[in-house]
Structure 1
Amino acid sequence: MNQRQKLIAAGKYLLANQLAWGTSGNISARINDEQMIITASGTFMGNLSEEDFAEVNIVTGNTEGKRKASKETPFHLGIYRERKDVGAVLHSSPFYTTMFSCADEPILSELFIETMYYLENIAYVDYYHPGTQELADAITEQAGKANIIMMRNHGVVVYDDTIDEALMRLETLEMACRMIVTAKSAGIALKRIPDQVVKSFLEDSKYKPRKQLPAAMK
């Protein structure tokens, strides 16, 4: 499949698994060093076609094609410019994740295998209106420090090397948030994996190569 087809499949997956709803959210993929495709404004995530994307020059920000690019294009551009390793960016508002974006409740990464890996680095940005340069600047500033950015009172943006890995990162986040809420409501105290075990897992377990962040390598 080409990148458009993969994003179409991702949109269907997001909707089918309650990781997105309606026209909320936007998704993109890098085509090459200078080009990305992103969902057009007002597209329904679960019913995308190959015509529902705009092609945008990552360097100049210029848009090609008949469709108007998502109003959130500025922060997608910021992530791709800051992170040359990123191949896909997903922004959505899953129920439990969005609940955490509206609260001060911590998201625990020391719960199980996938959370240790995918939720190791989470950053937060304050609320800014969708599509504003202020939001794009805030996200771009955090892009080198995390692979998940919680947007206060809005939702989340995740990014990774591939669309599939970005989906896994988002789904792990939503599952962890749901687990934390469910445990609290049931009076169950979640037991965290000790820090030294987490460190050993990330560095020695060979689960997956630990994701290196540009900020950590400077």
Structure 2
Amino acid sequence: MNDLNNLKNELANVGRYLLAHELAWGTSGNMSARLDEDNMVITASGTFMGDLGQDDFVITHIPTGTYEGTRRASKETPFHTGIYNRRPDVGAILHSSPFYSTMVACSETSIFSELFIETMYYLENIAYVNYYHPGTEELGKAIAEKSEEANVIIMKNHGVVVFDDYLTEAKMRLETMEMACRMIITAKSSGIMLNRIPDKVVTSFLEDSKYKPRKILGGQKK
């Protein structure tokens, strides 16, 4: 079991980092971290990502979605609980709408991972879900289902969700996603052709380079 106060502080630090690095803005995002097998800590509804205090988090029961206290949990609680229920390996979830990632989500631009070291690792598995209104059971169900095949989910005309074992790794996934989107969009607008790393080299990197243990869906690691 994680320490509650430390977990809140870590989430607050991540929120400040995301805002400072233009990975979040205003109230347009939410975060959670697993407290134990059956409970998570999630940002309260209407909180500002860059100005989070101890009272801006809500303990929520993962199997039922019910929460403690007087603050209302984020309206996006259904997809957070959905991911944790289907992915016992996941310890942290970030949802945000950074500029370039959201531009991709609002277009038919394809994201590919064969660009550089971090994209090969952090963007190996990306899934897409169609637009559903925020906070709906439909959105929660769609994201939960896709979480079994990806660690990054692009929400059409909405933003992106990333998740990993720890907050530090989830933050790196989000930052890598935004970097890749920015690179792809800038190259397109500048007429620059990006060279992709060959599939054989990508496989070798993921399996043999010892950069990081390859994250296999469902929590198994090679």
Q: TM-score, normalised on structure 1?
A: 0.97
Give the one of 69, 84, 104 matched to 1:80: 84
1:184 aligns with 2:188: yes
Quote the sequence identity (%): 66
In structure 1, what residue type is equivalent to 2:173? Answer: R
What SS does the aligned partner of 2:54 have? coil
Q: Does the Cα contact within 8 Å between 1:144 and 1:215 map onto a contact in 2?
A: no
Q: Does the Cα contact within 8 Å between 2:33 and 2:40 map onto a contact in 1?
A: yes
Q: Which residue of 1 aligns with 2:55?
A: 51
Q: Which runs of 5 or more residues in structure 2 are unaligned?
A: none
CA offsets per residue over residues 167-208 of structure 1, 9 Å max, x none?
000000000000011111111110000000000000000100
Q: Which residue of 2 aligns with 1:40?
A: 44
Q: Which residue of 1 aligns with 2:19?
A: 15
Q: Which residue of 2 aligns with 1:121?
A: 125
RMSD, matched Cα: 1.3
Q: Does the Cα contact within 8 Å between 1:19 and 1:94 map onto a contact in 2?
A: yes
Q: How many residues align structurally?
A: 217
Runs of 4+ in 1 over 2 A off after TM superposition: 214-217
1:60 Cα deviation after fit: 2.1
Whole-angstrom distance in 1 between the partners of 2:69 and 2:37: 19
Q: Which runs of 5 or more residues in structure 1 are unaligned?
A: none
CA offsets per residue over residues 78-115 of structure 1, 9 Å max, x none?
00000001000000000000000011111020000000
Whole-angstrom distance in 1 between the partners of 2:177 and 2:146: 18
Q: Which residue of 1 aligns with 2:158?
A: 154
Q: Does the Cα contact within 8 Å between 2:106 and 2:157 map onto a contact in 1?
A: yes
1:102 aligns with 2:122: no
1:209 aligns with 2:210: no
1:216 Cα deviation after fit: 9.2
Whole-angstrom distance in 2 between the partners of 1:216 and 1:109: 21
Q: TM-score, normalised on structure 2?
A: 0.95
In structure 1, what residue type is equivalent to 2:205? Answer: F
In structure 2, what residue type is equivalent to 1:187? Answer: G
1:214 Cα deviation after fit: 2.6
In structure 2, what residue type is equivalent to 1:21? Answer: W
What SS does the aligned partner of 2:110 have? coil
